[in-house]
Amino acid sequence: MELLKQIFTWWNSQTLGTRLYTWRKGIYVGSDNIGNLFYESKNAQRRWVIFNKDIDASFVSAEWHGWLHHTVSLAPTNNKLVRKSWEKPHIENKTGSQFAYHPLGENRTVTSHYNDYEAWSPKNE
């Protein structure tokens, strides 16, 4: 079933083309705490991630994001970052879900959901 998902869809982990490219030219670099796998090409010019869950860029932590975009040269598995006491742990983006952040507005209470929005319509003058 997993192979059929990879052949016909791109949003489930990796495609068949990515699997073949990783097998031929990829070198495994490491993984993060949620199971994403990180690879680098043999000539160290390309870096990519194979997601453990759904493909969503917010599932990549800041350390691995820096490595993926060549901001840092050493992978976080080799070079552990020292966390400050005020730094929060990485969480994925919750936008569009029921857990998204909604600030309290003039007409918004904790129990209401999107009830303070009123569509604009032009007035006939």
Provide the residue-wise pLDDT of the chain in tens; the chain has 125 residues: 666 666 666 656 677 778 888 889 999 999 988 889 999 999 889 999 998 877 778 888 888 999 999 998 888 876 666 778 888 877 778 887 777 777 766 555 555 555 556 777 888 75
One-character DSSP codes across 64-118: HHHHHTTSSSS-TTTSPPPPPTTPPPP----TTSTT------SS--SS-SSTT--
pLDDT in the model for residue 38? 94
pLDDT in the model for residue 59? 83
pTM of the model: 0.64
Domain boundaries, the chain: 2-68
